[in-house]
Amino acid sequence: MPGLSAWLAEHAPTAVVDATHPFAAGITANAAAACSATGTRLLRLQRPGWTAGPGDDWRWVDDLAQAATVVRGTAFLTTGRQGVGAFAGLPGRVLVRCVDPPTDPLPAGAVLVLARGPFSVADELALMREHAVDVVVTKDSGGPMTTAKLVAARELGIPVVLVRRPPLPAGVAVVPTVEEALAWLR
């Protein structure tokens, strides 16, 4: 936060738009603190989370540790490499997919798939069938780029454990689209 505060004080922008990932809570908190300290307006541009549809079996949890306590059977983790450690104690098979290799310990029965989406529904169906997935675990990041796993889970009748987004700092204005962010800036 000191670095951002110093930059804001030196350059005096009229506003900051935080368009980081919905789970980048530390960055958002730092931006909120720095903007508050320098009197700079702050806007959070955040895409909407996912909404369950007919046939979805979603189980909401507050964090990865809680998600690990409700998982039964073969889990398909799509929570990112930084959250894998929460699942290190899971017994049985665990399919872990992330872009970069995790630094946290993997569950003993883990199969690691390094891949970058977007993935098609057909690809997700094939992967879930190949690994006999019983439950999908993911974060509510929203957006269309990673919804194929949710569609595949629905089609296969597999429950999805969804981690809720971290709360935003108090008083931060939020808009869901670039167009609304531009209007706010005007």
Strand partners, 101: none
- Name residues of the chain where pLDDT drops below 50: none
For residue 135, the surrounding DSSP H or E stretch is strand 135-139
Please state the φ and ψ torsions of residue 136, each to the nearest 5 degrees. Answer: -105, 135
The confidence score (pLDDT) of residue 34 equals 95
For residue 116, the model assigns a pLDDT of: 92
For residue range 156-184, what is the model confidence (pLDDT) as tens digits? 999 999 999 999 999 999 999 999 999 99
pLDDT at site 1: 58
The reported pLDDT for the residue numbered 57 is: 97
- Report all structural domains of the chain as residue ranges with CATH numbers, in order of start: 2-48+166-185 (no CATH), 58-163 (3.40.50)
pLDDT of 3: 87
Contacts of 127 (CB under 8 A, 6+ apart): 76, 95, 97, 113, 119, 133
- d(CA 128, CA 153) in angstroms, rounded, equals 8
